[in-house]
Amino acid sequence: MSGRQAQLAHAHSVCRGVTRRAARNFYYAFLVLPREKRDALCAVYAFMRHCDDLCDEPGVPLAERRARLEAWRQTQQQVLAGRATDDPVLFALADAQRRFHIPPELFDKLVEGTAMDLPPADAPPGAVLTFADFDELYRYCYHVASVVGLVTIRIFGYKDPAAEPLAEKCGIAFQLTNIIRDVKEDAALGRIYLPEEDLAHFGCSSEQLGPGALRNGFDPARFRPVLEFEAGRAREFYRAADQLLPLLDHDSQPAFWVLVEIYRRLLEKIAAHGYDVFGEKVRMTMPQKLAILSRGFLRRLYA
């Protein structure tokens, strides 16, 4: 094994470890992919995970977090342009980018999307991140999730350009599911992703989701209609997954099916809990994920 091969093997091992620890739903879908594609997706995930960690690092001033994100973006650009690096995540990412011909600008958009979770530089201390309407939220979801889809389908493989807008819509579906599931956690971080327009339509407001409001006589039932509305939106976007599946390379279709199935079932599990996402976090259990994964392996065997 050459020095570069050994470095690449180590880099992929690091990225797989990050994905195994933190990805949860994504990792199970990756397991049914051929090794080369699985390693590439783990590199992408590890890159995104580092972006999130820089954004959310507790105790670090906002300006410094922005500076660290920008420095990470510039380093990523230089490495993808050919500069040598000892960073295992960027080393693996550069290999994946070259191997699967991923447009480098998509990684810039991923970093830009992460920065959208930070309040504006001129925001007062304790400012809450909100979105006026669904158009604003869609732009955010595009950067943090649809762009991930556009990267992922390059690794999955496709020939029909119709796959790209479908991957964009799938990303919106996944992110809306995350938003619905994580309302309580996000609110505690000062991030309200439910659009103000939708909240107002159902007689609610972002102020009712603030940390203080969640502690003092909070009534989760009043938010059920708006969460149900957003879930209906997500289901509409999930329809794109059914159209995208046959456009992907055969050896990638089982992995995509597993990913969509896990997220769709998570959304329906939230619905079955009456959209009460303010108590114990709604999750897919390990047996439920393994059952989906086993079906994914069967689909791969007979693909």
Q: What percent of the chain has pLDDT over 70?
A: 92
Does residue 289 surpass a pLDDT of 80? Answer: no
Of the pLDDT bands very low, low, confident and very high (cuts 50, 70, 90), residue 298 is low
Rounded Cα–Cα distance for residues 107 and 183 (Å) = 27
Rounded Cα–Cα distance for residues 150 and 128 (Å) = 30
Other beta carbons less than 10 A from residue 159's beta carbon: 9
Rounded Cα–Cα distance for residues 97 and 48 (Å) = 14
Of the pLDDT bands very low, low, confident and very high (cuts 50, 70, 90), residue 153 is very high
- What is the reported pTM? 0.90
Query: Residue range 217-227: average pLDDT?
Result: 85
Other beta carbons less than 10 A from residue 290's beta carbon: 12
Query: Residue range 101-107: average pLDDT?
Result: 96
Query: Residue range 260-286: average pLDDT?
Result: 90
Query: Residue range 276-282: average pLDDT?
Result: 88
Q: Which option is the CATH number for 1-102: 3.30.1490.20, 1.10.443.10, 2.40.50.100, 1.10.600.10?
A: 1.10.600.10
Residues of the chain with CATH 1.10.600.10: 1-102, 128-303
* Confidence (pLDDT) at 124: 72
Query: Residue range 262-269: average pLDDT?
Result: 94
Q: What is the dihedral of CA 128, 133, 139, 141, to 10 degrees?
A: 70
* Confidence (pLDDT) at 103: 96
3-state secondary structure of 89: helix
Does residue 230 surpass a pLDDT of 90? Answer: yes
Of the pLDDT bands very low, low, confident and very high (cuts 50, 70, 90), residue 217 is low
Does residue 154 surpass a pLDDT of 70? Answer: yes
Angle at 201 between CA 200 and CA 204, to 5 degrees: 40
Query: Residue range 20-30: average pLDDT?
Result: 77
Tell the residue number behind the tokens 């994100």, with chain if given: 69
* Confidence (pLDDT) at 279: 85
* Confidence (pLDDT) at 301: 52
* Confidence (pLDDT) at 43: 96
Rounded Cα–Cα distance for residues 64 and 99 (Å) = 34
> To the nearest whole number, what is the mean pLDDT of the chain?
89
* Confidence (pLDDT) at 215: 59
Looking at domain 128-303, its CATH architecture is: Orthogonal Bundle (1.10)
Does residue 123 surpass a pLDDT of 80? Answer: no
Does residue 216 surpass a pLDDT of 60? Answer: no
Please tell me the least confidently modeled range out of 14-18, 122-126, 132-136, 257-261. 122-126
Of the pLDDT bands very low, low, confident and very high (cuts 50, 70, 90), residue 213 is low
Q: Best-predicted range by mean pLDDT among 84-98, 120-134, 183-197, 269-283?
A: 84-98
Query: Residue range 105-129: average pLDDT?
Result: 84
Cα–Cα distance list, 211 to 192, 278, 291 (Å): 11, 12, 37
Other beta carbons less than 10 A from residue 203's beta carbon: 11
pLDDT tens-digit series, residues 160-186: 999 999 999 999 999 999 999 999 989
